[in-house]
């Protein structure tokens, strides 16, 4: 019954989305105000019903109901409960339902809490959100029904891809999805504002928390995904410029540009058309990313849910949404006044450069990702790899960081540069000190990592500069957030540069009892033992890493074998062992056994010393925390709460 | 009025992007990489017999005017056993087949032929894998379609499947 109920809820939610859309369009075209009264409750109910339907799908997975096709294909009764539940979104249909749930809940939240916007703009926004939902409802109900029953229930399921059987799965995709789909609200706000021609500070302020919120989740999702790939794949890398990584980076870049340009529109009423266009591009890139992953358009480590027919469906949906929004933009943006002007040396000026650089990086990453398709259309077969991305995106990102140094130290509208010149020398001194130290003692370091560490030092000092000569207790929360986020960029940049400059690697075939040295560690290979997990068997090695100070640490890298279920082939995964030290991480992977000429059993042992590598994810977390502080400050929850308390007190006395 | 047209630029870029997507959805990517051996002559070799009663194989044998198959196999190779019925069928259809046994022992080859039949006219014994390495073949079984002049026309990696048999016969027939 659960599956049938879930499907019924989906149809009802789709009908409500239809209602929101029709009533919204009629109202905006001059209909009665009763029509507007329908849109809010319909949006809220649609969100609740979709979420309930997703809850039922999770229940089906938790109960291992193998009569449902999706559960039978992606779950197994012996799986640990966490992975059973996570399995609900570890596949195409379930993840699309999650997508719709977030789409619906975002619409419901806008309907519930948005009070600042003009009513017709809000209704147009909700109608646009309903239109987005409707298309994805059609996609889910007609081509990827998650609640499909099997005529005969199999005795057990086929299991979940072992690489996905990791706590990371419970966290990484939903976080990214909240970020991806949260950008839909910015998209809808932009469409709503274009429809009613109300592009101004009110619209920008309404959109701002959504942009910040989505971007926080994108940052967390990408950071978590990077760490997950780092320890789960056992390759020791944290970013591979894989097509699917790129398409998750592109909405993040668009979001980063948007949250800076929306600040200009909200405070200075400038850059209006640009902000609207970025809002459209942000969610468009989310859709393009999903399309690329789901259609199998590009070959990638992530292509586990590939179906060209679904690709065509998604392509049509995207053509309608993106094409429609951009046509509306082309027709209406000309009538949107450009807003206030500003001097080049001003905060707006710095933010414009920031936006231009971010969109250029976005375009270059997108170009690199899609270039193989273009090249093949011309009859050539190529693949674009890290050398391209590092070469084109690296220098631009460093320039971007330098602009980030200046921006917060400039005033809005016009600036004489005095604050900037008075606070810059210390930062430049820090950069110069790092550069000299590296050149003198660092050995041979590549140009890009060298500049990376130098810029990181400059940014780290300069990012704190907005706090100088300021009463720290009265500094508003958004400023703290900005400082922390910019400092996080410096931390992440330092981690990336140090890791690529000073990484040490050893690959050996070691017999138990042997000692291998990597960087300052001498690692003794004690031996291996077999281990049986809940649904796998593994070979677990014991390594003892000793530092020059005589500290000893035990590492247990393992190679897991998951049996092939229902006649499938067995799958092997690597569990890397990580030892985190203040100066970096020791990364150990155990490989296949090899029998040597002398008959002794040896194991492939791969050891990396990665200096400061964990700073990358620390930086990502700092950026997300900074953005969260900015959002809390902007949402003015505290101010709203105080005003409400004051009103209550007044009512009591009246 | 010129600035008005700039506003259509995003739409135009989107159209280009979608053009690429439509192209890729309609023309699936070519993932097949053609063998570098096609239209190249067989490397020179002269292999002793792999087992008693069957002649050895040298490269000049392959240039006798008759198009043929050269099958790289081994008695210790399980997929080669799965392939044996298809080779039998080809042999029955009159296709000449020569074999190269990789890292094998005469007794084992004889046992393999007893169990799985002998479709081979000649079998060379490549104990050091030297011919296999010269051919750049990555494993066993592997089959080369060689025309009457000793030029390789096709390389089949892995097992010949039942569905391949009529195509191979037709292709060799066309080479005559």
At B1-57, the pLDDT tens digits run: 446 778 888 889 889 888 888 887 777 666 667 778 888 888 889 999 988 888 999
The tokens for A54 are: 């997703």
Per DSSP, A217 falls in state H
The pLDDT value given to residue A306: 54
The pLDDT value given to residue A566: 53
The pLDDT value given to residue B2: 46
Alpha-carbon span A373 to A380, nearest angstrom:
9
Among A333, A321, A238, A232, which residue's Cα sits nearest to residue A281? A321
A316 vs B: CB within 8 A: no
The pLDDT value given to residue A307: 65
Q: Are A230 and A236 in contact (CB under 8 A)?
A: yes
Q: For B29, which of A311, A318, A376 is closest by C-beta distance?
A: A376
The pLDDT value given to residue A333: 82
pTM: 0.83
B111 vs A: CB within 8 A: no
The nearest CA of chain B is from the CA of A373 a distance in Å of: 7
The pLDDT value given to residue A507: 86
The pLDDT value given to residue A163: 65
A312 vs B: CB within 8 A: yes
Q: Are A86 and A169 in contact (CB under 8 A)?
A: yes
Q: Per the CB < 8 Å rule, is A333 touching B3? A: no
Minimum CA–CA partner of A334 in chain B: B4
Residues of chain A with pLDDT under 70: 160-164, 296, 298-308, 337-338, 564-569, 596-597, 635-642, 654
A370 neighbourhood in chain B, CB within 8 Å? 17, 20
**Phi, psi at residue B175, to the nearest 5°?**
-80, -20
A377 neighbourhood in chain B, CB within 8 Å? 20, 23, 27
Q: Are A369 and A243 in contact (CB under 8 A)?
A: yes
Look at the block and give the residue holding tokens 């009513």: A119
Rounded to an integer, what is the distance from CA B13 to the centroid of its chain? Answer: 45
A277 vs B: CB within 8 A: yes
Minimum CA–CA partner of B2 in chain A: A334
Dihedral of CA A492/A395/A234/A438: which sign? negative
Q: Per the CB < 8 Å rule, is B7 touching A333? A: yes
B20 vs A: CB within 8 A: yes
Q: For B25, which of A277, A308, A376 is closest by C-beta distance?
A: A308
ipTM: 0.77
Non-local CB neighbours of B87 within 8 Å, separated by 6+ positions: B69, B71, B97, B117, B119, B160
The pLDDT value given to residue B1: 41
Chain B contacts in chain A segment 613-632 (CB below 8 A): none
B29 vs A: CB within 8 A: yes
Alpha-helical (H) ranges within A233-343 are 243-268, 272-295, 308-332
The pLDDT mean for chain A works out to: 86
Rounded to an integer, what is the distance from CA B1 to the centroid of its chain? Answer: 64
Q: How many helices (H) and strands (E) does chain B have?
A: 6, 7
The pLDDT value given to residue B73: 93
Q: For B11, which of A308, A315, A327 is closest by C-beta distance?
A: A327
Non-local CB neighbours of A407 within 8 Å, separated by 6+ positions: A347, A350, A351, A354
B20 neighbourhood in chain A, CB within 8 Å? 370, 373-374, 377
Among B75, B141, B144, which residue's Cα sits nearest to residue B103? B75
Q: For B14, which of A323, A373, A377 is closest by C-beta distance?
A: A323
Q: Per the CB < 8 Å rule, is B20 touching A370? A: yes
Among A204, A352, A320, A349, which residue's Cα sits nearest to residue A266? A204
Q: Per the CB < 8 Å rule, is B4 touching A281? A: no
Inter-chain contacts counted by CB atoms under 8 A, chains A and B: 58
- Look at chain B and count its residues: 176
């Amino acid at each position: 019954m659960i599956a049938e109920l879930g499907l019924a809820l989906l149809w009802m939610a789709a009908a409500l989305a239809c209602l929101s859309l029709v009533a919204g369009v009629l109202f905006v075209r001059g209909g009665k105000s009763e029509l507007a009264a329908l849109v809010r409750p319909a949006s809220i109910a649609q969100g609740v019903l979709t979420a309930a339907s997703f809850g039922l799908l999770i229940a089906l997975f938790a109960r291992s109901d193998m009569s449902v096709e999706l559960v039978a294909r992606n779950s197994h009764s012996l799986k640990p409960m966490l992975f059973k539940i996570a399995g609900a979104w570890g596949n195409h249909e379930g993840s699309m339902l999650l997508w719709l749930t977030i789409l619906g809940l975002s619409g419901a939240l806008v309907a519930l809490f948005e009070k600042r916007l003009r009513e017709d703009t809000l209704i147009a926004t909700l109608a646009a959100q309903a239109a987005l939902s409707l298309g994805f409802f059609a996609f889910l109900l007609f081509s990827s029904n998650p609640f499909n029953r099997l005529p005969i229930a199999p005795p057990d399921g086929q299991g979940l891809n072992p690489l996905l059987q990791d706590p990371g799965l419970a966290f990484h995709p939903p976080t990214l999805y909240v970020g991806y789909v949260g950008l839909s609200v910015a998209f809808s706000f932009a469409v709503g504002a274009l429809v009613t021609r109300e592009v101004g500070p009110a619209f920008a302020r309404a959109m701002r928390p959504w942009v910040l919120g989505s971007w926080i989740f994108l940052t967390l999702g990408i950071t978590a995904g990077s760490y997950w790939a780092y320890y789960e794949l056992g390759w020791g890398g944290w970013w591979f410029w894989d097509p699917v990584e790129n398409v998750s980076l592109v909405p993040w870049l668009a979001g980063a540009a948007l949250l800076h340009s929306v600040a200009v529109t909200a405070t200075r009423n400038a850059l209006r058309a640009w902000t609207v266009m970025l809002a459209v591009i942000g969610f468009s890139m989310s859709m393009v990313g999903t399309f690329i992953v789901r259609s199998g358009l590009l070959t990638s480590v992530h292509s586990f849910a590939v179906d060209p027919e679904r690709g065509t469906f998604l392509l049509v949906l995207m053509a309608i949404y993106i094409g429609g929004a951009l046509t509306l933009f082309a027709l209406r943006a000309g009538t949107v006044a450009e807003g206030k002007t500003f001097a080049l040396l001003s905060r707006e000026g710095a933010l414009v450069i920031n936006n231009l650089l971010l969109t250029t990086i976005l375009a270059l990453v997108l170009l690199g990702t899609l270039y193989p398709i273009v090249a093949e259309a011309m009859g050539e077969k190529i693949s674009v790899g890290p050398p391209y991305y590092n070469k084109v995106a690296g220098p631009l990102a460093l320039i971007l960081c330098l602009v980030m140094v200046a921006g917060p130290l400039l005033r809005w509208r016009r600036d004489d540069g005095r604050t900037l010149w008075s606070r810059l020398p210390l930062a430049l001194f820090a950069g110069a000190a790092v550069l000299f130290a590296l050149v003198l003692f660092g050995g041979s370091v590549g140009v890009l990592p060298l500049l990376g560490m130098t810029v990181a030092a400059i940014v780290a000092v300069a990012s704190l500069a907005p706090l100088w000569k300021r009463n720290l207790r009265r500094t508003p929360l958004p400023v703290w957030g900005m400082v922390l986020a910019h400092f996080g960029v410096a931390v992440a940049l330092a981690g990336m540069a140090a890791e690529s400059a000073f990484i040490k690697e050893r690959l050996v075939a070691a017999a138990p009892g042997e000692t291998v040295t990597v960087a300052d560690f001498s690692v003794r290979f004690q031996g291996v033992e077999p281990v049986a997990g809940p649904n796998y068997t593994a070979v677990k090695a014991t390594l003892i890493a000793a530092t020059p100070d005589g500290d000893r640490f035990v590492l247990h890298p393992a190679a897991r074998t998951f049996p092939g279920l229902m006649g499938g082939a067995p799958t092997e995964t690597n569990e890397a062992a990580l030892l985190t030290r203040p100066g970096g991480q020791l990364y150990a992977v155990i490989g296949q056994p090899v029998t040597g000429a002398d008959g002794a059993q040896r194991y492939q042992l791969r050891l990396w010393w990665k200096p400061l590598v964990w700073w990358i994810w620390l930086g990502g977390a700092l950026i997300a925390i900074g953005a969260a502080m900015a959002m809390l400050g902007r949402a003015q929850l505290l101010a709203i709460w105080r005003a409400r308390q004051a009103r209550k007190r007044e009512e009591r006395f009246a | 009025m010129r600035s008005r047209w700039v506003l259509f630029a995003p739409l135009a870029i989107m159209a280009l992007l979608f053009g690429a997507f439509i192209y890729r959805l309609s023309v699936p990517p070519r993932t097949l990489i053609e063998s570098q051996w096609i239209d190249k002559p067989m490397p020179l070799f002269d292999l002793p017999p792999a087992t008693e009663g069957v002649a050895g194989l040298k490269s000049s044998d392959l240039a006798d005017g008759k198009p043929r198959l050269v099958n790289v196999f081994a008695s210790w190779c399980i997929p080669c056993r799965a392939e044996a019925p298809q080779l039998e069928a080809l042999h029955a259809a009159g296709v000449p087949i020569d074999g190269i046994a990789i890292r094998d022992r005469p007794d084992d080859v004889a046992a393999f032929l007893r169990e799985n039949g002998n479709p081979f006219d000649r079998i060379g014994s490549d104990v050091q894998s030297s011919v296999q390495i010269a051919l750049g073949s990555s494993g066993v079984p592997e089959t080369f379609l060689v025309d009457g002049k000793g030029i390789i026309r096709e390389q089949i990696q892995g097992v010949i499947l039942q569905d391949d048999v009529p195509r191979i016969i037709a292709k060799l027939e066309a080479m005559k």
